[in-house]
């Protein structure tokens, strides 16, 4: 299908319901996100390295005692905006309690959003989502780079609703520590 034919099938304004329908209809595993300003992003499915990083972080949190119901992979979150809500799909989220069944979870009880950088997503993960997540009030945001060290950059929300850099370390080093050391409250 050409871009013109595909674009002709989109509504003039894409909503989170539209996005959920696109996700449900996609047989190839693409990720669909909508910025709070209404910009639609379609990303290819994650590759095996991306999946392995997410699995290692997930296992680290589970082994540290976090219930699986509070550590979610690829769960959609609703990002409030002026003209309606956006929807993002962080690679991993940690919640203060179990979440209701929903395609788009509200930010209540969200403790941490983790994005694993994929080729082509660097600017979105490092700048755009950094600002969006801070404005939305997400307390912690981690970005895992795909450099040889798989560097994890950790941010904590400051009182002015901007993120403050608190740590930067190789993933292997992070996985040798306890999640409580990073203010997750385990």
What residue ranges define each of the domains in the chain, with the CATH number in brackets? 46-182 (3.90.1570.10)
Note the pLDDT tens digit of each residue in 29-38. Answer: 888 989 888 8
Per-residue pLDDT at 44 exceeds 90 = no
Alpha-carbon separation of residue 60 from 39, 50, 53, 54, 186 (angstroms): 34, 16, 11, 10, 12
HSE at residue 174, side-chain half, CA atoms within 13 A, is 24
DSSP 49: H
User: Helices marked H in 81-170 — which ranges?
Assistant: 122-123, 129-136
Q: Mean pLDDT over residues 29-53, rounded?
A: 89
Mean pLDDT of 4-20: 72
pLDDT for the residue numbered 107 = 96
pLDDT at 144: 97
Q: What is the pLDDT of residues 91-105, one digit of tens each?
A: 999 999 999 999 999
pTM for this prediction: 0.90
Task: State mean pLDDT over 139-145.
Answer: 97
Residue 151 pLDDT greater than 50, yes or no: yes
Structure confidence at residue 181 as a pLDDT band (50, 70, 90): low
């Amino acid at each position: 299908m050409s871009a013109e034919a595909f674009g002709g099938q989109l509504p003039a304004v894409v909503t989170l319901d539209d996005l959920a329908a696109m996700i449900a209809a996609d047989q190839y595993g693409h990720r669909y996100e909508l910025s709070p300003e209404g910009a639609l992003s379609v990303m290819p499915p994650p590759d095996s390295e991306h999946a392995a990083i997410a699995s290692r972080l997930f296992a680290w949190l589970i082994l540290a005692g976090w219930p699986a119901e509070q550590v979610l992979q690829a769960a959609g979150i609703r990002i409030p905006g002026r003209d309606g809500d956006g929807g993002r799909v962080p690679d991993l989220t940690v919640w203060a309690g179990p979440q209701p069944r929903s395609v788009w979870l509200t930010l209540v009880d969200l403790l941490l959003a983790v994005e694993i950088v994929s080729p082509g997503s660097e600017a979105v993960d490092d700048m755009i989502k950094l600002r969006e997540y801070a404005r939305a009030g997400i307390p912690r945001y981690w970005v895992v780079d795909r450099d040889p060290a798989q560097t994890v950059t950790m941010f904590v929300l400051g009182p002015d609703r901007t993120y403050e850099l608190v740590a930067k370390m190789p993933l292997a080093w992070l996985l040798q520590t306890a999640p409580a050391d990073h203010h997750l409250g385990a």
